[in-house]
Amino acid sequence: MISLTTDFECGHGKNIEKLGEDRFRLEVDGDKQQGYSGGYCFDLINEGPAAEVTVELREDSKWGGPTGFGVAFPTTTWIKPVGFHRFRPLRGQYPEWVEGGLTLRVPVEQGQRLRVSMTYVAPYSEISENLREFAAQRTGRCELFSVGKSVQGREILGLRAGTPGRPKVFCVAGQHPHEHAGVWGVLGIADFMSSLLPEAERLRDRLDVVAVPIVNPDGNVAGRSAFNAERLDMYLAFGETPDAEEPEAHESRLLWRWIGEERPALWLNFHCYTGWQLNSEYPFEGWYEVEDHGLFRDPGQRRLYEALCDTLRLETDAPSTHERASIHRPTTLCYQMARRYGIPHAFYELNNGTSGKHAATLRALNVFRRVVNTLLHHTDTGRGVK
Ligand SMILES: [Zn+2]
């Protein structure tokens, strides 16, 4: 007897049908028809002998037409026995989009409960536990931090490391909840900044770094692709009203208020992309900028922002997808932070399909090191700080 369920933290998929003893079909559950059109994370529970299970993944039927899932499926499907500490790739299968869906063939051992996922999942419970462990074990080097509580009452946890009074660097991920590589990346920055590495020690003397890996915990736990519990997109934070005093989503308002009060010198925002077929060359990452650098009214801040754009273009893998930056619209936090507060951003898209936990950490750490290097140069030379 084999069953399939998505009823667990970060589970994603609906309308599950059992087509035969070893065959299932389910639909992804997208928040938008394009862009955030689905994902998958399900468990196969095998109460019988070892079997190869065929799983047909279909587009979300509620849109009544083709969705972005047809181009935004990954190069890697991740599997792990539930309870085991890590995922590994499902071997020997290069996913192809055939007749409106993907078909996976998944070997499941006798008596096994196997998790199968589009991303190397970063569950809120596990990330929170990691942050608490860092804070408990690395006293004097870091402390636990919270932006506040989500709509459903979950703490939006982070780690703070550095020296009060030094330039603040605010690192976040998980605005779009299933972009898990970004979450691993920012957890990696928290790990690095509270570590004993010589470079981390030097940076703790010169900066005040706050790293919040999951800014949308309710969306993470519910396995959403774009929304928070209010069904709002935290990236397009100002919805249809870019001139509104505050962003729409509760969690975005918490971030916005913290930023307004604390005025970080730099905000790092990690997102992810999963598709690959329309991209340029491995590892298929990307970045966003504001088009109008005149949003930074202070010439020093404008120069710092342009140096950060140079950093992402020349010192990271950001150009590997589109070769040029995508553009932040006026409804985003990045745009409004630039316009209203003159705070620059580094907005980086890790590829969920070509990085798991480890690669995401290394790629995010590279971005962090390079942009912080640029920031400190401008701080030291007085070019970028008012
Ligand atoms: Zn995103």
Q: How far apart are CA 204 and CA 283, in angstroms?
A: 30
Cα of 165 to ligand 1 centre, how many Å? Answer: 31
Beta bridge partners, 56, equal 25, 103
Instruction: State which of 84-93, 274-283, 338-347 shows the largest mean pLDDT.
Output: 338-347
Q: How far apart are CA 386 and CA 56, in angstroms?
A: 56
Give the number of other CB atoms < 10 A from CB of residue 361.
21
* CATH code for position 98: 2.60.40.3120
pLDDT band at 341 (very low <50, low <70, confident <90, very high): very high
Pair (40, 92) in one structural domain: yes
86 DSSP 8-state letter: -
Q: Residue type at 307?
A: A
User: Position of tokens 């640029």?
Assistant: 374
Whether the pLDDT of residue 385 is over 50: the answer is: no
Whether the pLDDT of residue 50 is over 70: the answer is: yes
Cα of 47 to ligand 1 centre, how many Å? Answer: 37
Q: For the residues 214-232, what does the mean pLDDT come to?
A: 98
Dump pLDDT digits (tens) for 309-340: 999 999 999 999 999 999 999 999 999 999 99
Res 75: pLDDT? 80
Q: For the residues 362-374, what does the mean pLDDT come to?
A: 98
Res 384: pLDDT? 47
Cα of 104 to ligand 1 centre, how many Å? Answer: 25
Q: Which residues contact 380 (CB under 8 A, 6 or more apart)?
A: none
Percent of the chain with pLDDT over 70: 99
Res 353: pLDDT? 86
Q: Which residue range forms the structural domain that includes residue 21? A: 2-117
Structure tokens given for 186: 């920012």
pLDDT band at 361 (very low <50, low <70, confident <90, very high): very high
CA 380 → CA 53, 373, 376, 385, distances in Å? 59, 11, 6, 9
Q: Residue type at 311?
A: T
Q: Is residue 240 included in any domain, yes or no?
A: yes
Cα of 176 to ligand 1 centre, how many Å? Answer: 5
Q: Is residue 175 included in any domain, yes or no?
A: yes
Q: Which residues contact 375 (CB under 8 A, 6 or more apart)?
A: 167, 169, 265, 266, 304, 308, 384
Res 275: pLDDT? 76
Residues with CB under 5 A from ligand 1 (ion): 176, 179, 271
Cα of 354 to ligand 1 centre, how many Å? Answer: 16
Span of 42-46, 130-134, 279-283, 286-290 with lowest mean pLDDT: 279-283
Dump pLDDT digits (tens) for 64-117: 999 988 887 788 899 999 999 999 999 877 777 888 889 999 999 999 999 999
90 DSSP 8-state letter: P
Res 97: pLDDT? 83
Whether the pLDDT of residue 386 is over 80: the answer is: no
Cα of 198 to ligand 1 centre, how many Å? Answer: 33
Asked if 46 and 21 count as a contact pair (C-beta separation under 8 A), the reply is: no
Number of domains in the chain: 2
Pair (283, 139) in one structural domain: yes
**Which residue, 117, 142, 167, sits at the end of a domain?**
117
Res 35: pLDDT? 87
Cα of 270 to ligand 1 centre, how many Å? Answer: 8
Beta bridge partners, 144, equal 159
Nearest to 379 by CA among 311, 314, 309, 300: 300
Phi/psi-derived region of residue 38, left when phi > 0, alpha when psi is between -120 and 50, beta in every other case: left
Cα of 173 to ligand 1 centre, how many Å? Answer: 9
Q: Which residues contact 129 (CB under 8 A, 6 or more apart)?
A: none
Whether the pLDDT of residue 358 is over 60: the answer is: yes
Q: Residue type at 45?
A: I
Q: Is residue 284 included in any domain, yes or no?
A: yes
**Which residue, 58, 82, 117, sits at the end of a domain?**
117
Cα of 271 to ligand 1 centre, how many Å? Answer: 4
Cα of 256 to ligand 1 centre, how many Å? Answer: 18
Pair (363, 250) in one structural domain: yes
* Mean pLDDT taken over the chain: 95
Res 279: pLDDT? 81
Cα of 35 to ligand 1 centre, how many Å? Answer: 9
* CATH code for position 156: 3.40.630.10
Cα of 63 to ligand 1 centre, how many Å? Answer: 20
pLDDT band at 383 (very low <50, low <70, confident <90, very high): low
Cα of 46 to ligand 1 centre, how many Å? Answer: 34
Cα of 172 to ligand 1 centre, how many Å? Answer: 12
Cα of 124 to ligand 1 centre, how many Å? Answer: 17
Pair (209, 310) in one structural domain: yes
Cα of 175 to ligand 1 centre, how many Å? Answer: 7
Cα of 235 to ligand 1 centre, how many Å? Answer: 7
Q: Which residues contact 81 (CB under 8 A, 6 or more apart)?
A: 109, 112, 113, 114, 115
